Structure 1
Protein backbone atom coordinates (compact mmCIF):
# COMPACT_ATOMS: atom_id res chain seq x y z
CA UNK A 1 0.00 0.00 0.00
CA UNK A 2 2.77 2.37 0.99
CA UNK A 3 4.66 1.52 -2.19
CA UNK A 4 1.63 2.39 -4.29
CA UNK A 5 1.36 5.77 -2.55
CA UNK A 6 5.07 6.51 -2.91
CA UNK A 7 5.07 5.97 -6.67
CA UNK A 8 2.64 8.83 -7.55
CA UNK A 9 4.37 11.20 -5.11
CA UNK A 10 7.74 10.40 -6.64
CA UNK A 11 6.28 10.98 -10.09
CA UNK A 12 4.82 14.33 -8.99
CA UNK A 13 8.16 15.35 -7.47
CA UNK A 14 9.92 14.48 -10.72
CA UNK A 15 7.37 16.45 -12.78
CA UNK A 16 7.72 19.46 -10.47
CA UNK A 17 11.50 19.33 -10.68
CA UNK A 18 11.36 18.96 -14.46
CA UNK A 19 9.01 21.92 -14.76
CA UNK A 20 11.21 24.11 -12.56
CA UNK A 21 14.34 22.97 -14.39
CA UNK A 22 12.90 23.81 -17.81
CA UNK A 23 11.93 27.28 -16.57
CA UNK A 24 15.59 28.12 -16.00
CA UNK A 25 16.82 30.18 -19.01
CA UNK A 26 18.84 28.12 -21.52
CA UNK A 27 22.38 29.43 -21.05
CA UNK A 28 22.20 29.29 -17.24
CA UNK A 29 20.62 25.83 -17.41
CA UNK A 30 23.26 24.49 -19.78
CA UNK A 31 26.26 25.88 -17.88
CA UNK A 32 25.16 24.95 -14.34
CA UNK A 33 24.09 21.48 -15.51
CA UNK A 34 27.47 20.94 -17.17
CA UNK A 35 29.25 22.01 -13.94
CA UNK A 36 27.16 19.66 -11.77
CA UNK A 37 27.54 16.71 -14.16
CA UNK A 38 31.31 17.25 -14.42
CA UNK A 39 31.64 17.31 -10.63
CA UNK A 40 29.45 14.19 -10.36
CA UNK A 41 31.63 12.39 -12.91
CA UNK A 42 34.74 13.22 -10.87
CA UNK A 43 33.05 12.11 -7.62
CA UNK A 44 32.09 8.80 -9.26
CA UNK A 45 35.70 8.47 -10.50
CA UNK A 46 34.58 8.27 -14.12
CA UNK A 47 37.11 11.00 -14.87
CA UNK A 48 39.81 12.75 -12.88
CA UNK A 49 40.63 16.47 -12.46
CA UNK A 50 43.92 15.76 -14.25
CA UNK A 51 41.92 15.22 -17.45
CA UNK A 52 40.14 18.57 -17.05
CA UNK A 53 42.57 21.21 -15.84
CA UNK A 54 44.00 24.11 -17.85
CA UNK A 55 47.41 23.19 -19.24
CA UNK A 56 48.66 25.26 -22.22
CA UNK A 57 51.28 22.69 -23.17
CA UNK A 58 48.77 19.84 -23.36
CA UNK A 59 46.29 22.07 -25.21
CA UNK A 60 48.59 23.50 -27.87
CA UNK A 61 51.23 20.76 -28.21
CA UNK A 62 49.10 17.67 -27.66
CA UNK A 63 45.83 19.11 -29.00
CA UNK A 64 43.80 18.35 -25.88
CA UNK A 65 41.50 21.23 -26.78
CA UNK A 66 38.66 20.08 -24.52
CA UNK A 67 40.65 21.52 -21.61
CA UNK A 68 39.75 25.01 -22.89
CA UNK A 69 36.17 24.23 -21.80
CA UNK A 70 36.45 21.64 -19.02
CA UNK A 71 38.61 23.87 -16.81
CA UNK A 72 35.52 26.11 -16.48
CA UNK A 73 33.27 23.21 -15.42
CA UNK A 74 35.01 21.79 -12.35
CA UNK A 75 34.79 23.63 -9.03
CA UNK A 76 36.44 21.05 -6.80
CA UNK A 77 34.99 18.16 -4.76
CA UNK A 78 31.50 18.42 -3.31
CA UNK A 79 31.65 20.54 -0.18
CA UNK A 80 31.09 24.08 1.09
CA UNK A 81 33.27 25.71 -1.56
CA UNK A 82 31.50 23.84 -4.37
CA UNK A 83 28.00 24.67 -3.07
CA UNK A 84 28.97 28.32 -2.47
CA UNK A 85 30.21 28.67 -6.04
CA UNK A 86 27.23 26.83 -7.55
CA UNK A 87 24.73 29.04 -5.70
CA UNK A 88 26.43 32.25 -6.81
CA UNK A 89 26.93 30.97 -10.36
CA UNK A 90 23.27 29.96 -10.69
CA UNK A 91 21.81 33.09 -9.09
CA UNK A 92 23.83 35.75 -10.89
CA UNK A 93 24.04 33.96 -14.23
CA UNK A 94 20.25 33.56 -14.19
CA UNK A 95 19.59 37.14 -13.13
CA UNK A 96 21.83 38.46 -15.89
CA UNK A 97 20.10 36.27 -18.47
CA UNK A 98 16.64 37.26 -17.25
CA UNK A 99 17.58 40.89 -16.62
CA UNK A 100 19.81 42.94 -18.90
CA UNK A 101 20.13 40.04 -21.38
CA UNK A 102 16.42 39.20 -21.52
CA UNK A 103 15.57 38.35 -25.13
CA UNK A 104 19.26 38.66 -26.07
CA UNK A 105 20.51 35.08 -25.70
CA UNK A 106 23.04 35.51 -28.51
CA UNK A 107 24.56 38.55 -26.77
CA UNK A 108 24.76 36.56 -23.53
CA UNK A 109 26.51 33.65 -25.27
CA UNK A 110 28.89 36.17 -26.85
CA UNK A 111 29.70 37.55 -23.39
CA UNK A 112 30.52 33.98 -22.30
CA UNK A 113 32.80 33.50 -25.30
CA UNK A 114 34.49 36.90 -24.94
CA UNK A 115 34.99 36.47 -21.19
CA UNK A 116 36.23 32.91 -21.60
CA UNK A 117 38.69 33.90 -24.33
CA UNK A 118 40.06 36.82 -22.32
CA UNK A 119 40.30 34.72 -19.16
CA UNK A 120 42.11 31.95 -21.04
CA UNK A 121 44.66 34.45 -22.39
CA UNK A 122 45.24 35.84 -18.89
CA UNK A 123 45.38 32.26 -17.62
CA UNK A 124 48.56 31.75 -19.65
CA UNK A 125 50.33 34.18 -17.32
CA UNK A 126 48.92 33.16 -13.94
CA UNK A 127 49.23 29.86 -12.15
CA UNK A 128 45.57 28.79 -12.22
CA UNK A 129 44.44 25.36 -13.39
CA UNK A 130 40.66 25.89 -13.08
CA UNK A 131 38.98 29.14 -14.15
CA UNK A 132 35.33 28.46 -13.28
CA UNK A 133 35.41 30.42 -10.02
CA UNK A 134 36.97 33.43 -11.77
CA UNK A 135 34.24 33.17 -14.41
CA UNK A 136 31.59 33.28 -11.67
CA UNK A 137 33.18 36.44 -10.25
CA UNK A 138 33.06 37.96 -13.75
CA UNK A 139 29.29 37.33 -13.92
CA UNK A 140 28.82 38.78 -10.41
CA UNK A 141 30.86 41.86 -11.39
CA UNK A 142 28.84 42.59 -14.54
CA UNK A 143 25.55 42.11 -12.68
CA UNK A 144 26.68 44.32 -9.79
CA UNK A 145 27.72 47.18 -12.08
CA UNK A 146 24.41 47.00 -13.95
CA UNK A 147 22.43 47.08 -10.69
CA UNK A 148 24.29 49.78 -8.72
CA UNK A 149 21.37 50.74 -6.46
CA UNK A 150 20.69 47.27 -5.03
CA UNK A 151 21.58 46.92 -1.35
CA UNK A 152 23.29 43.68 -0.37
CA UNK A 153 23.24 41.86 2.96
CA UNK A 154 26.24 39.57 3.39
CA UNK A 155 25.83 36.96 6.15
CA UNK A 156 23.78 39.54 8.04
CA UNK A 157 27.04 41.30 8.95
CA UNK A 158 27.64 43.73 6.10
CA UNK A 159 25.19 45.94 4.24
CA UNK A 160 26.49 47.60 1.10
CA UNK A 161 25.53 48.48 -2.46
CA UNK A 162 25.87 45.92 -5.23
CA UNK A 163 29.05 47.29 -6.92
CA UNK A 164 31.02 46.36 -3.78
CA UNK A 165 29.91 42.70 -3.90
CA UNK A 166 32.88 41.34 -5.93
CA UNK A 167 35.29 43.00 -3.52
CA UNK A 168 33.45 41.64 -0.50
CA UNK A 169 33.64 38.16 -2.03
CA UNK A 170 37.37 38.65 -2.57
CA UNK A 171 37.77 39.57 1.11
CA UNK A 172 35.75 36.49 2.06
CA UNK A 173 38.05 34.31 -0.10
CA UNK A 174 41.04 35.86 1.67
CA UNK A 175 39.55 34.98 5.06
CA UNK A 176 39.07 31.38 3.90
CA UNK A 177 42.74 31.23 2.92
CA UNK A 178 42.11 31.12 -0.83
CA UNK A 179 44.19 32.94 -3.43
CA UNK A 180 42.73 36.31 -4.43
CA UNK A 181 44.25 35.92 -7.91
CA UNK A 182 41.05 34.08 -8.89
CA UNK A 183 38.84 36.98 -7.77
CA UNK A 184 41.11 39.63 -9.30
CA UNK A 185 41.07 37.81 -12.64
CA UNK A 186 37.27 37.64 -12.62
CA UNK A 187 36.98 41.30 -11.63
CA UNK A 188 39.46 42.37 -14.34
CA UNK A 189 37.69 40.47 -17.13
CA UNK A 190 34.27 41.60 -15.89
CA UNK A 191 35.42 45.22 -15.85
CA UNK A 192 36.85 45.00 -19.38
CA UNK A 193 33.54 43.65 -20.68
CA UNK A 194 31.49 46.21 -18.74
CA UNK A 195 33.68 49.07 -19.96
CA UNK A 196 33.57 48.01 -23.61
CA UNK A 197 29.84 47.24 -23.57
CA UNK A 198 28.35 49.81 -21.18
CA UNK A 199 30.81 52.67 -20.68
CA UNK A 200 32.88 53.29 -23.81
CA UNK A 201 29.94 53.41 -26.29
CA UNK A 202 28.47 56.30 -24.26
CA UNK A 203 31.70 58.32 -24.13
CA UNK A 204 32.34 61.27 -26.51
CA UNK A 205 34.01 59.75 -29.53
CA UNK A 206 33.31 56.26 -28.23
CA UNK A 207 31.59 53.43 -30.00
CA UNK A 208 30.54 49.82 -29.71
CA UNK A 209 33.56 47.58 -30.13
CA UNK A 210 31.87 44.34 -29.12
CA UNK A 211 29.41 43.14 -31.74
CA UNK A 212 27.70 39.78 -31.51
CA UNK A 213 28.39 37.75 -34.68
CA UNK A 214 25.32 37.27 -36.85
CA UNK A 215 25.79 33.50 -36.75
CA UNK A 216 25.17 33.53 -32.99
CA UNK A 217 22.06 35.66 -33.46
CA UNK A 218 20.76 33.23 -36.08
CA UNK A 219 21.30 30.28 -33.74
CA UNK A 220 20.19 31.64 -30.37
CA UNK A 221 17.81 34.56 -30.82
CA UNK A 222 14.13 33.76 -31.21
CA UNK A 223 11.57 36.23 -32.60
CA UNK A 224 9.40 36.22 -29.47
CA UNK A 225 9.70 35.43 -25.78
CA UNK A 226 8.63 32.14 -24.28
CA UNK A 227 5.21 32.69 -22.62
CA UNK A 228 6.12 30.14 -19.92
CA UNK A 229 9.24 32.08 -18.91
CA UNK A 230 9.38 32.58 -15.13
CA UNK A 231 12.17 35.04 -14.26
CA UNK A 232 13.71 35.37 -10.83
CA UNK A 233 12.90 38.71 -9.19
CA UNK A 234 15.98 40.89 -9.61
CA UNK A 235 15.10 42.79 -6.42
CA UNK A 236 16.42 39.83 -4.38
CA UNK A 237 19.83 39.24 -5.92
CA UNK A 238 21.19 36.93 -3.26
CA UNK A 239 18.27 34.94 -1.99
CA UNK A 240 20.51 33.58 0.76
CA UNK A 241 21.84 34.90 4.05
CA UNK A 242 25.16 35.84 2.45
CA UNK A 243 23.75 37.65 -0.54
CA UNK A 244 20.29 39.06 0.11
CA UNK A 245 19.52 42.46 -1.25
CA UNK A 246 16.88 44.96 -2.16
CA UNK A 247 16.71 48.09 -4.27
CA UNK A 248 17.27 51.35 -2.44
CA UNK A 249 13.96 52.94 -1.62
CA UNK A 250 12.19 49.60 -2.26
Structure 2
Protein backbone atom coordinates (compact mmCIF):
# COMPACT_ATOMS: atom_id res chain seq x y z
CA UNK A 1 0.00 0.00 0.00
CA UNK A 2 2.75 2.44 1.00
CA UNK A 3 4.72 1.50 -2.11
CA UNK A 4 1.68 2.20 -4.30
CA UNK A 5 1.14 5.60 -2.68
CA UNK A 6 4.79 6.45 -3.22
CA UNK A 7 4.54 5.50 -6.88
CA UNK A 8 1.40 7.61 -7.32
CA UNK A 9 3.07 10.55 -5.59
CA UNK A 10 6.18 10.34 -7.77
CA UNK A 11 4.03 10.27 -10.92
CA UNK A 12 2.80 13.78 -10.14
CA UNK A 13 4.66 16.31 -12.34
CA UNK A 14 7.68 17.80 -10.59
CA UNK A 15 6.57 21.44 -10.24
CA UNK A 16 3.05 20.54 -9.11
CA UNK A 17 4.44 17.99 -6.66
CA UNK A 18 6.95 20.44 -5.18
CA UNK A 19 4.51 23.35 -4.79
CA UNK A 20 1.56 21.45 -3.34
CA UNK A 21 3.86 19.52 -0.98
CA UNK A 22 5.39 22.78 0.25
CA UNK A 23 1.89 24.22 0.86
CA UNK A 24 0.74 21.16 2.81
CA UNK A 25 3.94 20.97 4.89
CA UNK A 26 3.77 24.69 5.70
CA UNK A 27 0.17 24.37 6.89
CA UNK A 28 1.04 21.27 8.91
CA UNK A 29 3.95 23.10 10.55
CA UNK A 30 1.61 25.92 11.57
CA UNK A 31 -1.02 23.48 12.89
CA UNK A 32 1.64 21.70 14.96
CA UNK A 33 2.86 25.10 16.21
CA UNK A 34 6.39 24.65 14.93
CA UNK A 35 5.99 28.05 13.28
CA UNK A 36 3.35 30.79 13.32
CA UNK A 37 1.69 32.71 10.47
CA UNK A 38 3.46 35.82 11.78
CA UNK A 39 6.73 34.30 10.56
CA UNK A 40 5.33 33.70 7.09
CA UNK A 41 3.20 36.65 6.01
CA UNK A 42 4.27 39.26 3.44
CA UNK A 43 5.81 42.28 5.16
CA UNK A 44 7.94 44.59 2.97
CA UNK A 45 9.41 46.35 5.99
CA UNK A 46 10.72 43.12 7.52
CA UNK A 47 11.97 41.93 4.14
CA UNK A 48 13.90 45.10 3.37
CA UNK A 49 15.09 46.21 6.79
CA UNK A 50 15.56 42.88 8.56
CA UNK A 51 16.45 40.80 5.49
CA UNK A 52 13.70 38.22 6.11
CA UNK A 53 13.82 37.21 2.46
CA UNK A 54 11.93 33.95 3.04
CA UNK A 55 8.69 35.92 3.34
CA UNK A 56 8.78 36.47 -0.43
CA UNK A 57 8.13 32.73 -0.77
CA UNK A 58 6.30 31.66 2.38
CA UNK A 59 3.40 34.05 1.81
CA UNK A 60 2.54 31.93 -1.24
CA UNK A 61 2.61 28.67 0.77
CA UNK A 62 0.15 29.31 3.61
CA UNK A 63 -3.58 29.08 2.88
CA UNK A 64 -4.90 29.39 6.41
CA UNK A 65 -5.71 26.78 9.06
CA UNK A 66 -7.05 23.35 8.19
CA UNK A 67 -10.65 23.57 7.15
CA UNK A 68 -12.98 23.90 4.19
CA UNK A 69 -11.17 26.92 2.73
CA UNK A 70 -7.80 25.16 2.87
CA UNK A 71 -9.12 21.96 1.25
CA UNK A 72 -10.95 23.96 -1.41
CA UNK A 73 -7.79 25.85 -2.34
CA UNK A 74 -5.62 22.73 -2.32
CA UNK A 75 -7.99 20.85 -4.62
CA UNK A 76 -8.02 23.66 -7.18
CA UNK A 77 -4.30 24.31 -6.86
CA UNK A 78 -3.38 20.66 -7.40
CA UNK A 79 -5.93 20.06 -10.15
CA UNK A 80 -5.19 23.02 -12.40
CA UNK A 81 -1.48 23.22 -11.73
CA UNK A 82 -1.18 19.58 -12.75
CA UNK A 83 -3.36 19.99 -15.84
CA UNK A 84 -1.25 22.93 -16.99
CA UNK A 85 2.00 21.07 -16.41
CA UNK A 86 0.78 17.93 -18.16
CA UNK A 87 -1.00 19.87 -20.91
CA UNK A 88 0.26 23.07 -22.52
CA UNK A 89 3.53 22.97 -20.55
CA UNK A 90 4.30 19.32 -21.18
CA UNK A 91 8.02 18.99 -21.88
CA UNK A 92 8.48 22.69 -21.03
CA UNK A 93 9.20 22.64 -17.31
CA UNK A 94 11.47 25.70 -17.52
CA UNK A 95 8.67 27.72 -19.15
CA UNK A 96 6.30 26.60 -16.39
CA UNK A 97 8.75 27.65 -13.68
CA UNK A 98 9.20 30.99 -15.47
CA UNK A 99 5.43 31.50 -15.36
CA UNK A 100 5.57 30.89 -11.59
CA UNK A 101 8.34 33.49 -11.23
CA UNK A 102 6.59 36.01 -13.48
CA UNK A 103 3.25 35.69 -11.69
CA UNK A 104 4.81 35.71 -8.23
CA UNK A 105 6.87 38.81 -9.04
CA UNK A 106 3.84 40.78 -10.30
CA UNK A 107 1.81 39.82 -7.24
CA UNK A 108 4.66 40.79 -4.92
CA UNK A 109 4.96 44.19 -6.59
CA UNK A 110 1.23 44.71 -6.12
CA UNK A 111 1.58 43.60 -2.50
CA UNK A 112 4.02 46.46 -1.90
CA UNK A 113 1.16 48.92 -2.38
CA UNK A 114 -1.71 46.93 -0.86
CA UNK A 115 -2.41 45.52 2.56
CA UNK A 116 -2.13 41.86 1.52
CA UNK A 117 -0.49 39.29 3.76
CA UNK A 118 -0.82 35.97 1.90
CA UNK A 119 -0.93 35.59 -1.90
CA UNK A 120 -1.37 31.83 -2.33
CA UNK A 121 -5.05 32.08 -3.24
CA UNK A 122 -4.29 34.73 -5.88
CA UNK A 123 -1.63 32.43 -7.32
CA UNK A 124 -4.15 29.59 -7.54
CA UNK A 125 -6.62 31.82 -9.37
CA UNK A 126 -3.85 32.80 -11.79
CA UNK A 127 -3.23 29.13 -12.64
CA UNK A 128 -6.97 28.55 -13.08
CA UNK A 129 -7.25 31.61 -15.34
CA UNK A 130 -4.38 30.59 -17.63
CA UNK A 131 -5.75 27.03 -17.93
CA UNK A 132 -9.28 28.27 -18.63
CA UNK A 133 -8.16 30.63 -21.40
CA UNK A 134 -6.10 27.91 -23.05
CA UNK A 135 -9.05 25.48 -22.93
CA UNK A 136 -11.98 27.73 -23.87
CA UNK A 137 -14.29 24.97 -25.14
CA UNK A 138 -14.17 22.73 -22.08
CA UNK A 139 -17.56 22.61 -20.35
CA UNK A 140 -17.54 22.90 -16.57
CA UNK A 141 -20.02 21.84 -13.91
CA UNK A 142 -19.81 23.68 -10.59
CA UNK A 143 -20.90 21.19 -7.90
CA UNK A 144 -23.79 20.09 -10.11
CA UNK A 145 -25.45 23.50 -9.85
CA UNK A 146 -24.07 25.50 -12.75
CA UNK A 147 -22.88 24.65 -16.27
CA UNK A 148 -20.58 27.02 -18.13
CA UNK A 149 -17.55 27.18 -20.43
CA UNK A 150 -14.05 27.11 -18.93
CA UNK A 151 -13.22 30.85 -19.40
CA UNK A 152 -15.93 31.71 -16.87
CA UNK A 153 -14.40 29.52 -14.16
CA UNK A 154 -12.24 32.20 -12.46
CA UNK A 155 -15.24 34.50 -12.23
CA UNK A 156 -17.43 31.74 -10.82
CA UNK A 157 -14.78 31.08 -8.16
CA UNK A 158 -14.66 34.78 -7.33
CA UNK A 159 -18.45 34.83 -6.94
CA UNK A 160 -18.29 31.76 -4.71
CA UNK A 161 -15.64 33.46 -2.58
CA UNK A 162 -17.88 36.50 -2.29
CA UNK A 163 -20.77 34.32 -1.13
CA UNK A 164 -18.52 32.91 1.61
CA UNK A 165 -17.94 36.45 2.84
CA UNK A 166 -14.34 36.70 1.67
CA UNK A 167 -12.72 39.70 0.04
CA UNK A 168 -12.53 39.46 -3.74
CA UNK A 169 -9.36 41.57 -3.98
CA UNK A 170 -7.17 38.47 -3.90
CA UNK A 171 -9.25 36.78 -6.60
CA UNK A 172 -9.15 39.89 -8.78
CA UNK A 173 -5.38 40.08 -8.38
CA UNK A 174 -5.04 36.48 -9.58
CA UNK A 175 -7.29 37.17 -12.57
CA UNK A 176 -5.39 40.32 -13.53
CA UNK A 177 -1.96 38.68 -13.29
CA UNK A 178 -3.23 35.60 -15.14
CA UNK A 179 -4.59 37.78 -17.93
CA UNK A 180 -1.32 39.73 -18.21
CA UNK A 181 0.60 36.47 -18.62
CA UNK A 182 -1.94 35.05 -21.09
CA UNK A 183 -1.92 38.24 -23.17
CA UNK A 184 1.87 38.53 -23.32
CA UNK A 185 2.41 34.83 -23.99
CA UNK A 186 -0.53 33.78 -26.19
CA UNK A 187 -2.17 36.89 -27.66
CA UNK A 188 0.35 39.66 -28.32
CA UNK A 189 2.93 37.51 -30.20
CA UNK A 190 0.20 36.56 -32.71
CA UNK A 191 -0.90 40.15 -33.38
CA UNK A 192 0.36 42.12 -36.40
CA UNK A 193 3.66 43.60 -35.32
CA UNK A 194 3.63 41.62 -32.11
CA UNK A 195 6.53 39.62 -30.75
CA UNK A 196 7.27 37.30 -27.88
CA UNK A 197 8.11 39.37 -24.81
CA UNK A 198 8.30 36.61 -22.21
CA UNK A 199 11.48 34.67 -22.91
CA UNK A 200 12.50 31.96 -20.48
CA UNK A 201 16.09 32.53 -19.28
CA UNK A 202 18.63 30.03 -20.52
CA UNK A 203 19.63 29.18 -16.95
CA UNK A 204 16.13 27.85 -16.21
CA UNK A 205 16.19 25.77 -19.39
CA UNK A 206 19.59 24.40 -18.42
CA UNK A 207 18.34 23.40 -14.96
CA UNK A 208 14.83 22.13 -15.70
CA UNK A 209 14.77 20.99 -19.33
CA UNK A 210 16.58 18.03 -20.85
CA UNK A 211 19.38 19.01 -23.27
CA UNK A 212 18.44 19.28 -26.91
CA UNK A 213 19.81 16.90 -29.51
CA UNK A 214 22.59 18.41 -31.59
CA UNK A 215 21.28 18.45 -35.21
CA UNK A 216 24.87 18.35 -36.55
CA UNK A 217 25.79 15.23 -34.60
CA UNK A 218 26.92 12.28 -36.73
CA UNK A 219 27.35 8.86 -35.08
CA UNK A 220 30.64 7.06 -35.32
CA UNK A 221 30.72 4.09 -37.73
CA UNK A 222 30.67 1.60 -34.86
CA UNK A 223 27.51 3.27 -33.52
CA UNK A 224 25.62 2.75 -36.75
CA UNK A 225 23.45 -0.33 -37.01
CA UNK A 226 22.43 -2.35 -40.01
CA UNK A 227 19.00 -3.70 -40.78
CA UNK A 228 15.51 -2.37 -40.13
CA UNK A 229 16.18 -1.02 -36.60
CA UNK A 230 16.57 2.76 -36.21
CA UNK A 231 20.02 4.13 -35.58
CA UNK A 232 20.90 5.69 -32.23
CA UNK A 233 20.64 9.16 -33.76
CA UNK A 234 17.23 8.43 -35.28
CA UNK A 235 16.00 7.07 -31.98
CA UNK A 236 17.22 10.14 -30.09
CA UNK A 237 15.60 12.48 -32.60
CA UNK A 238 12.35 10.51 -32.44
CA UNK A 239 12.33 10.60 -28.64
CA UNK A 240 13.16 14.29 -28.69
CA UNK A 241 10.27 14.97 -31.07
CA UNK A 242 7.85 13.11 -28.84
CA UNK A 243 9.03 14.55 -25.53
CA UNK A 244 10.36 18.04 -26.11
CA UNK A 245 10.27 18.95 -29.77
CA UNK A 246 6.70 20.10 -30.15
CA UNK A 247 4.06 21.25 -27.78
CA UNK A 248 1.14 18.82 -27.66
CA UNK A 249 -2.21 20.14 -28.79
CA UNK A 250 -4.20 21.84 -26.11
CA UNK A 251 -7.37 20.28 -24.85
CA UNK A 252 -9.98 22.01 -26.98
CA UNK A 253 -13.02 19.82 -27.05
CA UNK A 254 -16.70 19.73 -26.28
CA UNK A 255 -16.79 16.63 -24.14
CA UNK A 256 -18.78 15.99 -21.02
CA UNK A 257 -18.67 18.75 -18.40
CA UNK A 258 -15.85 18.50 -15.93
CA UNK A 259 -17.00 18.18 -12.36
CA UNK A 260 -15.45 20.58 -9.87
Tell me, in whole angstroms, the C-alpha distance in 1 between the residues paired with 2:50 and 2:128: 34
Cα-to-partner distance string for 1:143-167 (whole Å, 9 max, x where unaligned): 0000000000001111000000000
Match of 2:19 among 20, 25, 31: 31
CA 1:237–1:175: 2 relative to 1, 3 Å:
farther
Match of 1:166 among 146, 149, 154: 154
> Which structure 2 residue ranges, 5 or more long, are not aligned?
212-239, 245-250
Superposed, 1:1-250 pairs within 5 Å as: 13-223=1-211, 225=243, 240=259, 243=260
Tell me, in whole angstroms, the C-alpha distance in 1 between the residues paired with 2:18 and 2:129: 21
RMSD after superposition: 1.8
Cα-to-partner distance string for 1:122-141 (whole Å, 9 max, x where unaligned): 11122110000000000000
- Please identify the structure whose Cα radius of gyration is greater: 2
In the TM superposition, residue 61 of structure 1 has moved relative to its aligned partner by 1.1
| 1:42–1:49 Cα contact (<8 Å) kept | yes
Tell me, in whole angstroms, the C-alpha distance in 2 between the residues paired with 1:192 and 1:50: 31
CA 1:195–1:234: 2 relative to 1, 3 Å:
closer
> Hey, what does 2:231 align to over in structure 1?
none
* Runs of 4+ off more than 3 Å: 223-226, 233-240
Cα-to-partner distance string for 1:96-145 (whole Å, 9 max, x where unaligned): 00000000000000000000000100111221100000000000000000
Superposition TM-score, scaled by structure 1 size: 0.86
| 2:184–2:198 Cα contact (<8 Å) kept | yes
> Hey, what does 2:236 align to over in structure 1?
none
